[in-house]
Chains A and B, each alone.
Chain A
Amino acid sequence: MGNLLAIILLAVLVDNFVLIRFFGICPFLGVSRKVDTSLGMGMAVTFVMTMASLVTWLIYHFLLVPFELEYLRTVAFILVIASLVQLVEMVVQKVSPALNRALGIFLPLITTNCAVLALAILNIQNDFNLLQSIVYAFGAAIGFTLALVLIAGMRERLELVTVPKPFRGSGIALITAGILSIAFMGFRGMIAL
């Protein structure tokens, strides 16, 4: 149990996917203008990441390992994630039109989000068992959401101040992201597996 808690903390803070490992920078800057939308994106990513880590773990250990095809994992995982996102989108469309509208374009965008693929591969590299990988996925997704909401909150405030002309728009967003990333480096070494 303590081990699982450590995994969550590691994924959320110490090894934050966005701010320390630099995965998923595209949505980090693309959908972080408003706290609402970044929360929506975070929800979608959490859902997909947890599902994807479950399925990829099963596929890896029950299909690729027995046939000694471990080298194919990247290709196989991309396949899995892409189809999974499609399936999830269809299910959401059918079951909850409201959620579908809230998540909107974010859901299909996650198909090509490197954070999801990275998570699947990290699960294998770290030799996690099924429960551990799911917990790690959930933590990583929460960390992703945290980073997104943090930067969105800052960008909402940045809208209201006079930024020097050369820094306006993406410039100041990237600088803010950099400073946030440096702040997260403070967690380094707090937890080791």
Chain B
Amino acid sequence: MFEATLTLAGLGLLFGGVLALASKKLAVKVDPRIESVNHCLPGANCGACGYGGCFQFAEAATRGEAPVSACIPGGCEVSQEVAEILGLGLEEQAERRAAALLCLGDRDKTRVKFDYDGVQDCKAAVLFDGGFKACPFACVGLGTCARSCPFDAIRMDDKKGLPLIDRGKCTGCGICARECPKDVIALTSLKESPTVLCNSTAKGKEVRAQCDIGCIGCGICVKKCPEEAITMEKNLALIDKEKCTNCGICVEKCPRDCIL
């Protein structure tokens, strides 16, 4: 009994001592600011700042290599906190943007070329003849973006076969836009203004054959816009957000209902 207690206590003491000694000897000096910067970051490791994850960004920012405002999901608040911790001034923050799907071609509106029964992933599906949808620019709708979103802002609308982006939750990190094999997700300004929700640069006739809602490049919106904010580029209307006054005439006049 006595021996047992002594032995275990001795062992515990010995190991405790060794550990205590080791923690002193082997201590790695870390800049305490890295930890506090890391603490106020969103922690999603989305990589929108250009670093591997939040911790790497915190390290770079503390070293002064990264601009304090690089965290896009964190936005103004986080940049301010980081700037405060590091004692730096806050430079101009980039405009907040959110992801938008530039395609309205759901199951009813866009025709399919063939039945696809392979791996349920957009990147896999486009390997075969550019995907199963007739329009080569259309959203494939197999949810690669939804799975890639670290903020849970995209979910799949199974009925329509298109992703639904929650623009409130979206932080504008842009991972979905990078993951999308069709490049049909764009980061657009959070300012309320009409957007052409079509990505097709095909000629009007082709678009008509492929899809019921795609932009055919008819140019009606260009003519009707009182601000001359709309131009036609490669059979696709483009709205200049600087000039747009959000009057809504283009939305009303579009014969294809693809400006929303």
List chain A positions with a Cβ less than 8 A from chain B.
59, 63-64, 67-69, 72, 75-76, 79-80, 83, 86-87, 90-91, 93-94, 97, 160-162
Q: Which residues of B contact A64 (CB under 8 A)?
A: 7
* A-B CB proximity, top 7 nearest: A83-B15, A94-B26, A90-B26, A160-B119, A90-B22, A67-B3, A69-B4
In the complex, A97 Cα to B23 Cα: how many Å?
16
We find that the number of chain B residues with CB closer than 8 angstroms to chain A is 19
| Residues in B neighbouring A90, C-beta threshold 8 A | 19, 22-23, 26
The answer to whether B19 touches A87 (Cβ under 8 A) is yes
Give the dominant DSSP class at B's interface.
Answer: helix
On chain A, the residues within 8 Å of B89 by CB distance are none
Q: Which residues of A contact B19 (CB under 8 A)?
A: 83, 86-87, 90
CB neighbours (8 Å) of A87 from chain B are 18-19, 22
- Given A90-B26, A93-B28, A162-B120, CB of A79 within 8 Å of CB of B7: no
Q: Pick the contact of A79 from B15, B26, B119, B124 — CB < 8 Å?
A: B15
Least Cβ–Cβ distance between B148 and chain A, in angstroms:
14
Chain A residues closer than 8 Å to B226, beta-carbon distance: none
The answer to whether B121 has its CB under 8 Å from any CB of chain A is yes
Report the bound CA distance from A192 to B92 in whole Å.
72
Query: Which residue of the partner chain, among B7, B28, B119, B120, contacts A72 with CB atoms under 8 Å?
Result: B7
Closest beta carbon of chain B to A76's beta carbon, Å: 6
Chain B interface (Cβ < 8 Å from any Cβ of A): 3-4, 7-8, 11-12, 15-16, 18-19, 22-23, 26-28, 119-121, 124
Residues of chain A contacted by B8 (CB below 8 angstroms)? 72, 75-76, 79
Partner of A69, one of B3, B16, B121: B3
User: Contact: A79 with B11, CB < 8 Å?
Assistant: yes
Given the complex of chains A and B, what is the CA–CA distance between A87 and B23 in angstroms?
A: 8
Known contacts: A91-B26, A94-B28. The answer to whether A83 contacts B7 by CB under 8 A is no
CA distance A76 to B14 in the complex (A): 12
Question: CA A144 – CA B107 in complex, angstroms?
Answer: 48
Residue of A nearest to B119 (CB): A160
Tell me the smallest distance from the CB of A69 to a CB of chain B, in Å.
5
Bound-state CA distance A79–B15 (Å) is 8
Out of B18, B26, B121, name the residue touching A83 (CB < 8 Å): B18
CA–CA, A68 and B119, complex, Å: 63
Tell me, in angstroms, the Cα distance from A56 to B27 when the chains sit together.
26
Could you tell me the distance between the alpha carbons of A180 and B19 in the complex, rounded to whole angstroms?
40
- Find chain A residues with CB under 8 A from B18 CB: 83, 87
Task: Give complex CA distance A6, B233 in Å.
Answer: 73
**Distance between A62 CB and nearest chain B CB, rounded to angstroms:** 12
When C-beta atoms are compared, the residue in chain B nearest to A67 turns out to be B3
Instruction: Give the chain B neighbours of A83 by CB distance below 8 A.
Output: 15-16, 18-19
Q: How far is the CA of A93 from the CA of B15 in the complex (A)?
A: 19
B-chain residues with CB within 8 Å of residue A86 when the two chains form the complex: 19
Most chain B CB inside 10 Å of its own CB: which residue of A83, A86, A94, A161: A83
Assess whether B12 is in contact with A79, with CB atoms less than 8 Å apart: yes
Q: How far is the CA of A8 from the CA of B199 in the complex (A)?
A: 60
Pair B15/A80 contact, Cβ less than 8 Å = yes
Q: Can you list 10 pairs linking A and B with CB atoms under 8 Å apart?
A: A63-B11, A69-B3, A75-B8, A80-B11, A83-B15, A83-B16, A86-B19, A93-B26, A94-B26, A161-B119
